[in-house]
Amino acid sequence: MNSIQDYLIPTTFSIKETLKRMDLLLANTVFVEDNDQLVGSVSNGDIRRTLLKEVSLKTPVSKIMNGSPIYVEEDCDESAIKEIFMEKKISAIPMLNQKGKVVKIIFKDDLFEGGHEIYNKIDLPVVIMTGGKGTRLDPFTRILPKALIPIDDKPVIDIIMNEYAKYGMYNFILSLNHKSAMIKAYFQECENAYKIDFIQETHPLGTAGALRLLRNRISSPFFVSNCDIIVKADYTGLYQFHADGGFALTIIASMQHYTIPYGICELDEGGTLEAISEKPEYDFLVNTGMYILNPETIDLIPEDKMFHMTDLINSLKRNNYKIGVYPVSEKSWIDIGQWGKYKESADRLNHALKDLT
């Protein structure tokens, strides 16, 4: 159980330390204190905008925080707090005593069941790529298609679709190839409120080739997702970023932290040691396998040929289309596509589905 203090950070925290704290808490927002006084807030959006500006992660969080955070006082009633949540795009509100100290943090999900009532809705198609063989999860996928791999009591594809449905997206198109009959049979048997269509590959077409089958079937921007990943993010904000940026394609990327557990030697051309770094840390934005595409991108995909998403991205760049990158935090991305992470992902997901919006 997290305490209030877990969500409070000092002004001396770096952006990197702040991001790690948010990942640890599975939180969208943390609050900045100085001498027991609330002085700011930092959201996922603040972090994302910072990453896109290539600001150093060693920068103090005080440089990027919102210095005028929304808060309520102790005598504020619940109806007024609900109105604030309805009006503002925030996930948590600190409550202050008369001395300006945070005495409580009120979370959106505590006042609105699941938080679903106040998600901003968008009605866009969602394409889920379910045709792959799932070789990373062999031998499990010799029996089941990876889209039907269970997490607790649900197949992963149900969890993926439920995330989109929170934001008003109920129109799904599944690309099929490997074990397609099992996937079709599953949706014929289960009850849900979604509209589900299929596109069928006759042979493997890569991570983007099947999208050619959508030509003249989709006239609006659409989401694309692999069927073995879950991204916990504000999908409405993600689409707004895509639209406002005028991007033809937006990649959802996760900030990943890596520590090399050894001293790294840097040499000159003659083999002389120039420097040695002890257990250096590196940060990367990693492609999650989730995208937003405009319908005109489909025209760049060749018909009935192997074609990967990287091929499409390179083709778009050659044709001077804008490509966006929308960063999410490390733990916002759940990848169940390999055995080494399957159990860890299942445990994380059970917690994340409740606590991360």
Summarised one tens digit per residue, pLDDT across range 277-327 is 999 888 888 999 999 999 999 999 999 999 999 999 999 999 999 999 998
pLDDT at 134: 60
For the cut 50, the answer to whether the pLDDT of residue 116 exceeds it is: no
Residue of 62, 68, 34, 39 whose CA lies nearest to 50: 62
* Residue matched to tokens 């990327």: 253
Domain end point (choices 56, 84, 113):
113
Task: Evaluate whether residue 119 is within a structural domain.
Answer: no
Q: Are residues 226 and 285 in the same domain?
A: yes
Instruction: For residue 213, give the DSSP letter.
Output: G
Domain holding 347: CATH number? 3.90.550.10
Cα end-to-end span (Å), the chain: 18
How far apart, in whole angstroms, are the C-alpha atoms of residue 45 and residue 28?
Answer: 8
Task: Give the domain extent around 53.
Answer: 4-113
Q: How far is CA 165 from CA 49, 127, 273, in A?
A: 26, 13, 56
What's the chain's average pLDDT? 87
Say if residue 162 is in the same domain as residue 279.
Answer: yes
Q: Answer yes or no: is 322 within a domain.
A: yes
Residues 49 and 164 in one domain: no
Tell me: do 160 and 106 sit in the same domain. no
Residue 193 sits in the same domain as residue 273: yes
pLDDT in tens, 326-341: 988 888 888 876 545 5
pLDDT at 120 over 90: no
Mean pLDDT of 181-200: 89
Asked, for residue 222, whether it belongs to a domain, the answer is: yes
* 92 and 179 belong to one structural domain: no
277 and 238 within one domain: yes
Q: Rounded mean pLDDT of 2-6?
A: 88
CATH of the domain at 61: 3.10.580.10
Tokens of 233: 């993010």
Tokens at residue 347, please? 């445990």
Q: What is the model's pLDDT at position 118?
A: 52
Same domain, yes or no, for 212 and 324? yes
Could you read off the pLDDT of 43-90 as tens digits, one per residue? 988 888 887 787 888 899 999 999 999 999 998 999 999 999 888 878
Q: Same domain, yes or no, for 241 and 103?
A: no
- The residue among 71, 92, 113 that closes a domain is 113
Q: Which helix (H) or strand (E) holds 264?
A: strand 263-267
354 pLDDT exceeds 60?
A: no
Q: Is residue 130 part of a domain?
A: yes
Q: What is the number of structural domains in the chain?
A: 2
Final residue of a domain: which of 91, 113, 135? Answer: 113
